[in-house]
């Protein structure tokens, strides 16, 4: 009788562990500072509680990052999503999450999610899909929400009432409340609010051309910093 009871309990424990492993464990994570120059601060905007960014700063969901004129910061939000915030800009980190396999011996990342809101200024984003896990990344402004459809390099600028999105590589989806989603391919840009239903060639707009130049200049910098970070980190 004792042996039957012991086996039943053991089987129940195994089933509970197995179910926990199959669902994975989701946890909040923090953005990693690659590089910062000039006056860059982060903290709680609602309480006006900010502190200077250092190389050891861990920036979490809910934090706001601000750069002064001439400053900039490069961040790893999650593996595969890297950004540079230009001078006189502000973002709020909305979501940073990793879902890992519950089996500690496997330790595989099943899902990666990151979203930021650009309140003002410009952000350059470099996104790479993972071959081994689901990845979601979005950038929002007051006018539009952006989701890369593939490996993508893009720049977003806003002054709070107007937003411009320019794609340097890959393709991304832009959605608003008032219009159907728009696909923006490499070399094209869209601006909101607008009456245009299709993206325009970046060659036709000086600001969009500057966006692409800036993005292409930032890309190798982010890639080099990401390579060093990937070699150091342990998940």
For residues 170-199, average pLDDT: 91
Please report the domains of the chain, with CATH numbers, ordered by start residue: 24-232 (2.60.120.1440)
Question: Residue 93 burial by CB count (10 A; 0-12/13-18/19+): exposed, middle or buried?
Answer: buried
- pLDDT tens-digit readout, 72-96: 999 999 989 999 999 999 999 999 9
User: Residue 14: which pLDDT band, with cuts at 50, 70 and 90?
Assistant: very low
**For the whole model, what pTM was predicted?**
0.83
131-166 residues labelled b (16+ CB within 10 A) or e (exposed): eebebbbbbbbebbbbbbeeebbbbbbbeeeebbbb
Radius of gyration of the chain (CA): 21
């Amino acid at each position: 009788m004792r042996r039957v009871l012991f086996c039943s309990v053991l089987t129940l424990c195994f089933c509970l562990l197995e179910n926990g492993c199959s669902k994975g464990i989701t946890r909040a994570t923090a953005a990693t500072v690659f590089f910062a120059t000039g006056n860059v601060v982060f903290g709680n905007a609602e309480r006006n509680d900010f502190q200077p960014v250092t190389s050891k700063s861990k920036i979490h969901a809910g934090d706001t990052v601000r750069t002064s004129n001439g400053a900039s910061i490069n961040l790893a939000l999650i593996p595969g999503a890297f950004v540079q915030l230009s001078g006189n800009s502000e973002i709020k980190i909305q979501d940073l999450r990793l879902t890992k396999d519950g089996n500690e011996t496997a330790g595989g990342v099943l899902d990666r999610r990151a979203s930021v809101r650009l309140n003002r200024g410009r952000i350059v984003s470099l996104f790479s899909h993972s071959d081994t896990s689901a990845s979601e990344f979005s950038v929002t402004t007051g006018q539009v929400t952006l989701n890369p459809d593939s490996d993508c390099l893009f720049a977003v600028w806003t002054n709070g009432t107007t937003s411009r999105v320019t794609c340097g590589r890959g393709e991304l989806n832009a959605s608003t409340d008032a219009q159907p989603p728009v696909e923006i391919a490499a070399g094209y840009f869209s601006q909101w609010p607008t009456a245009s239903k299709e993206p325009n060639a970046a060659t036709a707009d000086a600001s969009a051309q500057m966006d692409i130049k800036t993005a292409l200049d930032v890309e190798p910098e982010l890639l080099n910093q990401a390579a060093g970070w990937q070699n150091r980190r342990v998940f």
